[in-house]
Amino acid sequence: MKKDVIIIGAGASGLMCAIEAGGRGRSVLVIDHTERIGKKVLISGGGRCNFTNRDIRPENYISRNPHFCKSAFSRFTPDNFIAMLERHGIKYYEKEAGQLFCAEGSGEIIEMLQEECSKAAVEICLSCRIEDVKRDSLFSLSTNLGTFQSESLVVATGGLSYPKVGATEIGYRIAREFGLKVNSLKPALVPFTLNPQDLKIVMELSGVSINASVSCKGKEFRGDILFTHRGLSGPAVLQISSYWNAGEEIVINLLPGMDAYEFFLTRRQGRMEMRNLLSEFLPKRLAHIWCDLYIKSKPANQYSDKELGVIARQIHNWTIIPAGTEGYNTAEVTLGGVDTNELSSKTMEAKKVPGLYFTGEVVDVTGQLGGYNLHWAWASGFVAGHYV
C-alpha cells in the first residue's frame, strides 16, 4: 500500500497531524500497534482529559532549546483547540491555574478525533506492529500486516511513560537509525520513592495530604503533597520530579505563605504543646510525627526565641533526598527525546532526512503538569500536518 503520508502513532499528536494533512487532500495512513486509538488521551486527567491550559508559555516546558516550541504555539493556541471542541458540542470546564478538562469525560475527545479523521479520509490501521523502517525514494515500513510506503513519514509514537497502555521505545529507535541525536531519557511527572529511613517515617503518614511547596535547584511548586506507602506523590511532587536528578535533595516548606517564627512569637506565652500548636495548621498525624522526629515537643512558653527560630527553619526547610522515582510505570511523561536541533521548529521535519517528521512526546519538549503536554502534542502535530 502506498500513501502520501504515513503516521506512526494514533495518539494526540499523530491524530492531529493526520486531520490536518488529510484536510489538505493528502492520502494519510495512521498505524498503531495497539488495538484502539488515543489510549493515553483516554486516561489523561483521571479520565476527564486535561486537554490544554489557557496559559501556554515556553516557561512551562523543559527542553535543551527552550525556544523551539514557540513557533508551534504561535500557530496553534488553546483557543484553536477549544474552537474544535465547540464545533463538536463538547462541554469543558476550568479547574485551576488555567487547566481545562472535559465535562463528560475524555471519551468525547476520542470521538471528536475519530470524526475529524473520517471527515479528512484518514485511514487508521490498528494492531499493526512495525518490524523495519527504510528509506530509498520512498519510506518503506515492514509490518505484521504487510509493507506500506509513503513520501512522508511522521513519528508520533509518544515516549516511554505508561507502558501498560502500549508505550514503547520505537520512536527513539527510528530516530537513531536515521542518524538523529536522542537526548537522555528519564521518567518525569512521577512520584518519588524514599530510602528506608525516610520511608519508615512517611509510611506512618500514608494517605495524608497537605498543601505545601517543594523546591529543587531554585525551582519551586506549591500544591498538594501526598504521603504514600512508597514515598511522596501529589501535584507539587510530580512537578518538581521533572527538575530533579538522582542524589539531589528536595526541600519541603510545610507552611508556605506564613512566617512560622512570627507565629510562634505570638503564642510563646501560652502553655499549648508545640505538637498541638502545629496541628492548627497541619494534619494532626503529621504534626505529631514531625515533632517526635525533629524536636522535643513541650509547651510553647518553655522554648527560647533561638529554639523557636530553629523549629521555624526546620518547618520551612524539611530536606529529603529521594531514593529515586517510581519509574515509567507511573510517570505521566518522558523527559528528553529527539534533539530539537535535529528538527525544524517551523515544520517538525528532520533537517538531515527530508520527509521524516517527529511530533509530540518523542521530541525533547516536556511540559509541566496541567495540560501542557497534551497541548504540545496538538500543536506539534498540527504544524507537521501542514507540511507533510
Q: How do residues 181-206 score in pLDDT, each as one tens digit? A: 999 999 999 999 999 989 988 999 99
Q: What is the pLDDT of residue 295?
A: 87
230: exposed, middle or buried (Cβ count in 10 Å: 0-12, 13-18, 19+): middle
Q: Across residues 158-164, what is the average pLDDT?
A: 94
Q: Cell numbers 494519510 label which residue? A: 28
* pLDDT tens, position by position, 265-298: 999 899 999 999 999 999 999 999 999 888 888 9
| H helical segments located in 102-143 | 107-119
Buried b (16+ CB within 10 A) or exposed e, 55-89: ebeeebbbbeeeebbebbbeebbbeebbebbeeee
What's the pLDDT score for residue 217? 94
Q: What is the CA radius of gyration of the chain?
A: 24
Q: 58 lies in a domain?
A: yes
| pLDDT, tens only, 225-263 | 999 999 999 999 999 999 999 999 999 999 999 999 999
Summary mean pLDDT of the chain: 96
Asked if the structure places residue 276 within a domain, the reply is yes
What pLDDT was estimated at residue 167? 93
Residues 181 and 196 occupy one common structural domain? no
pLDDT at 66: 93
Q: Same domain, yes or no, for 63 and 166? A: yes
Give the total number of structural domains in the chain: 2
Identity of the amino acid at 138: L
At residue 277, the pLDDT reads 94
Say yes or no: 126 and 218 in one domain: no
Are residues 344 and 312 located together in one domain of the fold?
no
Task: Answer whether residue 340 shows pLDDT above 90.
Answer: yes
For the CA atoms of 44, 49, 54, 55, the dihedral, rounded to the nearest 10 degrees, stands at: 0
pLDDT for 2 equals: 97
| For the chain, percent of residues with pLDDT exceeding 90 | 95
pLDDT at 330 over 90: yes
Q: What are phi and psi of 366, to 5 degrees?
A: -125, 125
Q: Tell me, yes or no, whether 160 and 62 share the same domain.
A: yes
Tell me the C-alpha distance between 185 and 26, whole Å. Answer: 33
Which residues are registered as beta bridge partners of 183? 337
Contact 132/141 with Cβ under 8 angstroms? yes
pTM of this structure = 0.95
Domain region containing 253: 192-325
Question: Could you tell me if 27 and 78 lie in one domain?
Answer: yes
Establish if 203 belongs to a structural domain: yes
**Could you tell me the CA-to-CA distances from 359 to 72, 288, 365 in Å, in that order?**
11, 49, 10
Q: Are residues 228 and 93 in the same domain?
A: no
What is the b/e burial string over 233-266, where b = at least 16 CB atoms within 10 angstroms of the residue's CB?
bbbbbbbbbbbbeeeeebbbbbbeeeebbebbee
Same-domain pairing of 39 and 147? yes
- What percent of the chain is predicted at pLDDT more than 70? 100
What does the pLDDT average to over 107-132?
98
- Whole-angstrom CA distances from 86 to 53, 78, 108, 289, 377 are 16, 12, 12, 50, 19
List CB contacts of 257: < 8 A, sequence separation 6 or more.
none
CA distance 98 to 92: 12
Q: What is the pLDDT of residue 305?
A: 93
Average pLDDT over residues 308-336: 96
In a domain, 371, yes or no: yes
Under the banding of pLDDT at 50, 70 and 90, the label for residue 12 is very high
Asked whether the predicted pLDDT for residue 387 surpasses 90, the reply is yes
Bridge-partner residues for 214, per DSSP?
221, 252
* Max Cα-Cα span within the chain: 84
* Statement to judge: residues 236 and 379 lie in one domain: no
Tell me the mean pLDDT in the region 19-43: 97
Residue 127, pLDDT > 90, answer: yes
Q: What is the predicted pLDDT for the residue at 276?
A: 95
- Helix spans in 49-206 (H): 70-75, 78-87, 107-119, 170-177, 196-203
